[in-house]
């Protein structure tokens, strides 16, 4: 009989939310319906922020409203413009494209200014 591996621990969204410590004003956080985003730890974290963090959820099955999905579509388009002969080359190209977002804030802003995502640009 094969021994089952223990489930991997998924880092909570709240452990990655460093903005709460560095941004002095209220933060509005818009999340999709991933179960991790609706976890009790996330809800407790938002409650402990004493009004500094406002959490809203996108409607189910609405990738067109999620700027992240536009970013992933951009990554896939860019990947399609080149040829990766190995899995390592593909990973390296994808990592490079994702890192390029840091140097191109105008591109990231464009995802939020798409007609379906204007609600998040305000």
- Over the stretch 24-40, which tens digit does the pLDDT of each residue have? 888 888 888 888 888 89
pLDDT tens-digit profile of 52-111? 888 889 998 898 999 999 999 999 999 999 889 999 999 999 999 999 999 999 999 999
Instruction: Indicate the number of domains in the chain.
Output: 2
Compute CA distances 71 → 13, 24, 38, 44, whole Å: 19, 27, 23, 29
Q: Tell me: do 43 and 94 sit in the same domain.
A: no
Q: Tell me: do 66 and 53 sit in the same domain.
A: no
For 48, the 3-state DSSP assignment is helix
Q: Tell me: do 18 and 73 sit in the same domain.
A: no
- pTM (whole model) above 0.75: no
Task: Print the domain residue range for 27.
Answer: 9-57
Q: Cβ(19)–Cβ(46) under 8 Å? A: no
User: How distant is the alpha carbon of residue 22 from its chain centre?
Assistant: 19
């Amino acid at each position: 009989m094969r021994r089952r591996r223990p489930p991997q621990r998924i880092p909570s969204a709240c452990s990655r939310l460093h903005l709460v410590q560095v941004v002095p004003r209220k933060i509005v956080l818009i999340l999709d319906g991933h179960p991790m985003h609706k976890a009790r730890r996330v809800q407790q974290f938002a409650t402990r922020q004493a009004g500094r963090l406002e959490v809203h959820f996108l409607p189910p099955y609405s990738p067109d409203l999620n700027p992240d999905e536009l970013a992933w579509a951009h990554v896939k388009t860019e990947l399609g413009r080149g040829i990766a002969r190995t899995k390592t080359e593909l990973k390296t190209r994808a990592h490079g494209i994702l890192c390029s977002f840091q140097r191109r804030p105008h591109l990231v802003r464009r995802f939020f200014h798409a007609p379906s995502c204007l609600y998040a640009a305000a």
